[in-house]
Structure 1
């Protein structure tokens, strides 16, 4: 994988709404990261998936083929509008503007994917996010974390800190199935005990 400028994988949160608040669509490194993420999923199919940090829907559009139902959460109006447009023909994909961990969907999931969002959580928010993710992840369900490992001013932590905090939940609450570093991003997959 080619080395990429840091902003390609985990840019700072936008200060104003733009058509594409992050430059995801134009960069092959994100498409490659998404392909590796999908290839790493332990199951071929999931009943109900939650995507935290759906951005403009590039991964959402690919992930949906592996799910009976997919809920994608995003904090940016403009990014989510692009995702909704991208996936408008997919009736089993729903979108909500939601800031996890402040709010969290009520239902349970057999797949939860956190893509980049965790690095923007403070330590108390990360602890609350862990609690909510585990409360809503079914036993035997999978948790996938994908984060850029660098740092920007807007990030409250690093991808490594997020992933390591979930690793500390093993073996009591999670089983670590896979960990991988690819260039400037990290992937970890867990199973809920």
Structure 2
């Protein structure tokens, strides 16, 4: 959920994830609906290998697992990874790992990279480094999805518009979705420039 140099430390997040339902992931209709929108926005029906950065308690991880052949879910908070793995225990193809970004960006390429509700906890330099890693690790027809809260809060290091703009500036990405609400911004980029309907027409 955070970078090594963020004022919010891994220990801070571990304490947050000791709470029963941090941020209302399990109880708020807002959160459930947002997950539905994110999943519906993904242009591919299935992804071979995916990365979820900032997996938290695994509510989204559980949904992503149903659309991926292999899924690596990471978080800076060990307690978050523990809870995520307990939630997806029935999905053998999901791996959990404690990692600090950008310093511990995982090796290999990914067909889907999910950057949801984490960019604000990074310093601008660390976030730019993180999205550069993401762009470099993206498969030739891969997808990046980003979803972030728009309103101010004490721990925020960057505005959401700057968080998403850093992704949009990466070369070779084409934006396919921009969903804006008063509370959050959801965007999807792909290496594949063709709209979904055109892709299917060519199959």
Which ranges of 4 or more aligned residues in structure 1 deviate by more than 6 Å?
none
Question: Is 1:32 the equivalent of 2:36?
Answer: no
Q: Matches of 1:89 and 1:76 in 2, distance apart?
A: 22
Q: In structure 2, what is the equivalent of residue 8 of structure 1?
A: none
The alignment yields a C-alpha RMSD, in angstroms, of 1.7
**Cross-structure match for 1:121:** 122
Normalised by the length of structure 2, the TM-score is 0.83
Give per-residue Cα distances to partners, 1:153-182, cap 9 Å, x unaligned: 21211222111222233xx32111111113
Secondary structure at the counterpart of residue 36 of structure 1: helix
Q: How high is the TM-score relative to the length of structure 1?
A: 0.87
- SS for the counterpart of 1:44 is coil
CA distance in 2, matches of 1:84, 1:77: 11
Q: Deviations over 1:84-135 (max 9, x none)?
A: 1110111000100111112111011000000111111111101111211011
CA contact (8 A) 1:116 1:159 kept: no
Q: How many residues align?
A: 180
Residues in 2 aligned to 1:103 and 1:30: alpha-carbon distance in whole angstroms: 28
Matched with 1:185 is: 184
> What 5-or-longer segments of structure 2 have no aligned partner?
1-7, 193-203
User: If you compute each CA radius of gyration, which structure gives the higher value, 1 or 2?
Assistant: 2
